[in-house]
Amino acid sequence: MLSFRRIFETLDSTGCRYVVVGGLAVVLHGHTRLTTDTDLVLDLAAEQLPELLASLSRLGFQPRVPVAMEEFADADKRQAWIRDKGMQVFSVYHREEPRWVIDLFAASPIRFSDLFARAVEKKLEGVSIRVACIDDLVTMKRLAGREIDLSDIEYLQQIRDMSGEWRTG
- Domain for residue 147, yes or no? no
- Domain for residue 57, yes or no? yes
CATH number for the domain that contains residue 64: 3.30.460.40
- Domain for residue 164, yes or no? no
- Domain for residue 157, yes or no? no
- Domain for residue 42, yes or no? yes
State residue 167's pLDDT score. Answer: 47
- Domain for residue 139, yes or no? no
For the chain, what is the domain count? Answer: 1
Read off the pLDDT of residues 68-96 as tens digits, 9 standing for 90 and up. Answer: 999 999 999 999 999 999 999 999 999 99
- Domain for residue 96, yes or no? yes
Domain that holds residue 47: 4-133
State residue 165's pLDDT score. Answer: 57
Distance of CA 133 to the CA centre of its chain: 13
- Contact assessment for residue 39 and residue 144, using Cβ atoms and an 8 Å cutoff: no
Quote the DSSP letter at residue 131.
E
Read off the pLDDT of residues 11-42 as tens digits, 9 standing for 90 and up. Answer: 999 999 999 999 999 999 988 888 889 999 99
H-run or E-run covering 94: strand 89-94
pTM of the entire structure? 0.90
